[in-house]
Amino acid sequence: MCELRYLFALLVGTKRKYVDPSRAVEILKDAFKSNDSQQQDVSEFTHKLLDWLEDAFQMKAEEETDEEKPKNPMVELFYGRFLAVGVLEGKKFENTEMFGQYPLQVNGFKDLHECLEAAMIEGEIESLHSENSGKSGQEHWFTELPPVLTFELSRFEFNQALGRPEKIHNKLEFPQVLYLDRYMHRNREITRIKREEIKRLKDYLTVLQQRLERYLSYGSGPKRFPLVDVLQYALEFASSKPVCTSPVDDIDASSPPSGSIPSQALPSTAEPQGAPPSELPSTSPASVAAISSRSVIHKPFTQSRVPPDLPMHPAPRHITEEELSVLESCLHRWRTEIENDTRDLQESISRIHRTIELMYSDKSMIQVPYRLHAVLVHEGQANAGHYWAYIFDHHENRWMKYNDIAVTKSSWEELVRDSFGGYRNASAYCLMYINDKAQFLIQEEFNKETGQALVGVETLPPDLRDFVEEDNQRFEKELEEWDAQLAQKALQEKLLASQKLRESESSTAQAGEPEYLEQPSRSDFSKHLKEETVRIITKASHDHEDKSPETVLQSKPESTTSQPPNQQVVEVAIPHVGKFVIESKEGGYDDEIMMTPNMQGIIMAIGKSRSVYDRAGPEAGFFKAIKLEYSRLVKLAQEDTPPETDYRLHHIVVYFIQNQAPKKIIEKTLLEQFGDRNLSFDERCHNIMKVAQAKLEMIKPEEVNLEEYEEWHQDYRKFRETTMYLIIGLENFQRESYIDSLLFLICAYQNNKELLSKGPYRGHDEELISHYRRECLLKLNEQAAELFESGEDREVNNGLIIMNEFIVPFLPLLLVDEMEEKDILAVEDMRNRWCSYLGQEMEAHLQEKLTDFLPKLLDCSTEIKGFQEPPKLPAYSTLELCERFARIMLSLSRTPADGR
């Protein structure tokens, strides 16, 4: 009992990520041991736990009070009473019984109310209300309901044929609010009346359904059809006209060459039964002689063809107009009658269903509401499976899912999918409802002096509060000790790494080996690398076998360390790489950074260098990993990719390599990526990170021009901003939001032009941005002109606002570069459209507005006027940037653009 108190107190107020329940579980296991050593199911465990807690509370209550019957909180919270009224062998009886978990059968029922109705009535109960005393049966009526009502759903049954238990996966619905008035003893008389009425309605419903079935499945044979369709088919047959297109006629229409007689045209030697001689095909003496002069060839397929006088589709042979008229009239009338009868039956059935559903909806029967509070779910079969729970958070007004140590937000839809059953092997086995009127179950506690709501540790009694606070203090001390150990270990690793680095540099200098980072040739960037880079790539490819990213990430170091108490375990899914588990100090990694392509590549490189790391230590592993990563980035920089794949967005180093950044800047950037603190999620990555950080600290100020370094990084940030301006501009263009699109595209064009002035690979395709910027202006000009042509004052003013605020201020941007002929032609088109109005008749006020506006439009100055501040960019991650860029570029490739 004490261990359970401590366990639940820690769950309320601990600062740890999760609470270890081992001590309480071990005590429970010892208390619940059985002689047969069989695994107990969850319902049996719950029964025993409640009994044990009840006994413990009873002992405590008896110690603290002298009353004869002290109150037991377990009984008051979880136990209720029902009255069993019945007849046994002709004798009436009444018994009051206490219940905790109320068992319900699932098999054969569709919802919770049907289960309850079946559980409350057992056997024949007519004798309770009549003089007949020969039958036996009983009814259950709740006399007292607990604040927390638990239903145990029996989803297991024993298969006698197989000799083993099986799980029942049938679907069973249950409501969020359950009204229990119909099961209360005080409502027994009205409930009996309603049950009799429901029984009568269901009997009548059965008759109606049987009658409807005769209409929907008509016939006496094995195949049945709707009677309406049968009458329709008969009507269609009677109305069909015979079409006697003979195969002989088809053959005669395309007669064969003279001298040959098709076998299909040969007359039959036997007259068709019942056919008059006048209807038989006639043959001339000449044709008979020709036939007799040749031997007859037996052709079974052609000789067994349908006689030529049969119709091509079923139709009456002989029917008079009068007969057809009478038959059609009867069939039409009968079909209408059947349709009406069927519709009336269906409507009657629907009304009865609705009446049954609303039988207990009157005000007197919705006075005992119980709200669903928790659902316990089992997934699997009778002999094995997994358990989890859904619990409603009344303060946050949402469902929460409790699955082992994972607690996540959920929804009613997810609960329904996992709990109703019938969808997969998961279904609810226990439902916990709480009295919706017992607010003390969910209401907050308040401080009597301050009136503020109590939360966490404040809600606990003094002894438990002290226990939790002491545990939290121990936890904080553990954190401090752990941090001190990490700091000491990091210092030792730093000193060791520095020593090894000096030794490595010394040996490298003596051997004359080139440095590990080399840059592609400036003279022919797209095809050649320096000799040393080629050697490194070749060596890297031979040193390491080809492994998929998933294989690399799933590999584990041979020696593992115990997880510190302040670490958190999180599964991270990296696109194009896979899923892996991160174990790091709380706050020790950044989700967004872990998803970047930079980090993906570094993680793969470290994984591939595992063998070197294990054999020669962290520094050798670092050199191996950085060589692999640099070689991979060089390949990406040289790769010829489609427009939707731009590796410059994925990796800053690719951007630097393509634009021939100084080697030291590339080296420092790559070292900073390997020294990122987010790599501290396992021992190997952490040690390599420490080596990279040590090497960064050894870089002297004179070795890297920090001003130049910052300028390159600033250019890359501007490249990413330009990309986002371009993406948003193109997305708005596709949504036909041309004003927003124009503002972003103009910013993209201006930034891109500045970048391209420093190198051809610094920015994006200038023609692409120019095209859509031009198209935006043309679209807006068209809209403004149509508004002006409407003649309505409001529309005219809106059109001129578009021109004055968006077209006129930005036209100089198209005129600055006289080499862009398409931009100049677009400006001329816009001007010509408005100048064409000068020769048209229009009202005086429109003429006046046009006269005032045209000089601004026709101004040939290239001075940019009224340029607005760049629109603010939303926050975005590298992953989002790459995905949105790929998506928009793919959509553009599928949509032809005029003039491109």
End-to-end CA distance of the chain: give it in Å, rounded. 79
Segment 194-238, tens digit of pLDDT: 999 999 999 999 999 999 999 999 888 888 889 989 888 888 888
How remote is the C-alpha of 27 from its chain's centroid?
41
Tokens representing residue 528 in the block: 């050649």
Q: Which of helix, strand or coil describes residue 524?
A: coil
Give the per-residue pLDDT at 817: 63
Distance CA 82, CA 98 (A): 7
Rounded CA separation 832/877 (Å): 44
Q: Which pLDDT score, from 0 to 100, does residue 587 have?
A: 46
The Cα–Cα gap between 124 and 556 comes to 67
Residue 619's nearest CA partner among 609, 629, 634 is 609
Question: Are 94 and 83 spatial neighbours (Cβ–Cβ below 8 Å)?
Answer: yes
Please state, in angstroms and as integers, the Cα–Cα distance from residue 12 to each residue in 3, 7, 148, 451, following that order: 14, 9, 20, 21
Q: Specify the length of the chain in residues.
A: 900
The structure tokens listed for 813 are 């941007």
* Neighbour count for residue 584 (Cβ, 10 Å): 21
User: What residue type is assigned to position 798 of the chain?
Assistant: N
The helix or strand, by DSSP H or E, that contains position 112, with its residue range, turns out to be: helix 112-120
With a CB cutoff of 8 Å and minimum separation 6, the contacts of 365 are 179, 181, 182, 187, 190
Mark out the alpha helices in 560-617 (DSSP H runs): 591-594, 597-608, 610-616
- Conformational region of residue 197, where left means phi above 0, alpha means psi within -120 to 50, and beta covers everything else: alpha
Q: At what angle do helices 618-638 and 462-511 cross, to 10 degrees?
A: 70
Could you give the C-alpha distances from 127 to 67, 93, 184, 429, 716, in angstroms and in order? 43, 12, 20, 35, 89
CA atoms within 13 A on the CB side of 70: 17
What number of CA atoms fall less than 13 Å from residue 839's CA on the CB side?
Answer: 4
Kindly state the greatest CA–CA separation across the chain: 132
Whole-number pLDDT of residue 201: 93
Which residues partner with 745 through β-bridges? none
Contact 576, 549 (CB under 8 A): yes
CB 468 within 8 A of CB 14: yes
Enumerate long-range contacts of 336-341, CB under 8 Å, 24 or more apart: 338/215, 338/227, 338/228, 338/231, 339/228, 341/215
d(CA 397, CA 144): 28
Q: How far apart are CA 65 and CA 188, in angstroms?
A: 38
CA distance 467 to 531: 68
Phi/psi at 267 (nearest 5 deg)?
A: -75, 150
* Cα–Cα distance measured from residue 467 to residue 458, given in angstroms and rounded to the nearest whole number: 12
What are residue 379's DSSP bridge partners?
386, 426
| Angle in degrees, CA 339, 340, 343, rounded to 5 | 85
For position 814, what pLDDT does the model report? 79
d(CA 13, CA 879): 37
Which residue's entry shows tokens 């989803």?
Answer: 155
Cα dihedral 59, 60, 66, 69, rounded to 10, equals -60
Q: What is the pTM of this model?
A: 0.48
Instruction: List own/partner pairs for 18-26 with CB under 8 A and 24 or more apart.
Output: 18/405
Q: Which among 530, 505, 504 is positioned nearest to 518, based on CA atoms?
A: 530
Q: What's the DSSP call for residue 767?
A: H
What gap in Å lies between CA 306 and CA 522, rounded to an integer? 86
Each residue of 129-186: pLDDT tens digit? 555 555 678 889 999 999 999 999 988 877 777 777 778 888 999 999 999 999 999 9
- Which amino acid belongs to residue 456? G
CA distances from 664 to 213, 522, 632, 708 (A): 86, 15, 18, 11
Q: Give the residues of the chain that fall short of pLDDT 70.
A: 31-42, 64-69, 123-135, 242-312, 383-384, 447-448, 451, 497-498, 500-595, 817-820, 838-839, 859-868, 894-900
pLDDT value, residue 861: 55
How far is 419 from 410, CA to CA, in rounded Å?
Answer: 13
CB 661 within 8 A of CB 646: no
**Single-letter amino acid code for the residue at 735:** R
